[in-house]
Structures are given as C-alpha cells and as structure tokens.
Chains A and B, each alone.
Chain A
C-alpha cells in the first residue's frame, strides 16, 4: 500500500492510500518510522476507502505502541464507511478524531 507523509508544524501526518485490510495492514504497520517513538502523529484517512477488522487492529496497535512510548496518535478525515467501523467496535473511544489533518496536528493536548 502507498503511504504518503507530510509535516505540519513539526507533526508528522501519515496518509495511507487505498484499502486498509487484511492484505495490506502488516505493510502499513511497518510503513513509517513515525509509528515508533514519543512524537505526536496524525493518521490522515482521507484516501482510505475501505477498512476491515485487521486494518482497524493495525491502527489500534500503532496507538498502543505510541502511547506506551509517550507519544500519541490522532486520526483525521474518516469517511462514513470508516466511521461506521469505529462506531460498531467502540474503537472511537481510543482516538481523538478530527475532520481535517492540519487541525489534528495543530491542536494542543
């Protein structure tokens, strides 16, 4: 899967492109050095058109690892399909979710 990265005010914004499913999730999890360490990152999901339970598990795993290391993960730009997955699994309780990535990167806390 293709992963794009950009920086906004010192915060890495990671943007996976395509389907985040059981055939791409492991590639995604190892796809960015920013998934380790104590920095804050934003995962911009605007170019993800489908997510399944394995894709969701990869986001949860990245969040756990980052928070154990003193960092954090925020999510941005979930379409209706993705929001539904976060709703039915209660995973929305684990993440601050924003409508756009730059706001997520800029918000203090």
Chain B
C-alpha cells in the first residue's frame, strides 16, 4: 500500500459499516504487505477498525446541521511504520480532551474518544476553516518483539 486512500461518506449512521469495513480492509492490506501472515497483526487490525468506527460515529452524532448533504471525509495513509486515518467534518468544534466517563454511573455514551485514545498510538485534533479533523496513528508493531 503505497498511496493514500480517501473516501467521502454521507453523515448518516447507516454508513458506519462502510467506514468500519473499509478501515479493516485497509489495515489488512497494509499489515499483509508488511509481513503479517494470518492472525499475526489481528490486534492492529481490530484496533484500527474500531478507532475509525468510533471517529465516524462521533462525527455523525455531533453533526447538528440541517444540511442533509453533509459529508464526512476519511483518509487512510501509510506513514511512520504504521497507518494514519483522519476523519474530517464540518460540525461545531469539540474538545478532544474531555475526561472519560465514570463507569460506575452506568453511562450509556461517552466512551468513543476514550476508546480511540486507548487503541491508537497518537491522536491529534485540529480546527481550521470550519472543519474538524481527528487524525489517528497506529504503529504496526511485531507482536512477537514487544
């Protein structure tokens, strides 16, 4: 996988599985080309799939614009011995540093960013020209050399 892949999806939760399945396919392609025989990089693939799923779902959930044509832009890039995904939208700005929910209060939501932070090696948030971009990077580590 030598080039970036970009996709635009409608800001609609019905499309979450397209984002999720594409993220998994990209992670499988990337790890497969880097020596990942069956099962070796399963944790990398699971983490990448789930983090992108959470970022997409957050973008849909926090979009309160009446514009039905709103889209979410996802880019996958191989870099720095790993994979980067960026998820961009035109929603209002948000604080990516919100504290994790108190599990003993039985919260039904608020786990998304916590999960992304736990799953990925690096996340960055930027706000520019009315766009939010959440950039997430996961290194492909050999699970036998950790």
Contact = CB atoms under 8 A, between A and B. Distances in A.
A70 to B, nearest CB: 15
Interface residues of A, number: 25
B107 A81 contact: no
B61 to A, nearest CB: 8
Contacts of A69: none
Interface size class of B (residues with CB under 8 A): 20 to 34
A11 interface: no
B103 interface: yes
A48 to B, nearest CB: 14
A85 B54 CA distance: 12
Contact of A89 (B49, B106, B115): B115
Nearest to B60: A22
Given A21-B57, A22-B57, 4 more contacts: A22-B16, A61-B108, A89-B115, A94-B104
Interface of B: 13-14, 16-17, 20, 42-43, 46-47, 49-50, 53-54, 57, 60-61, 100, 103-104, 106-112, 114-115, 118-119
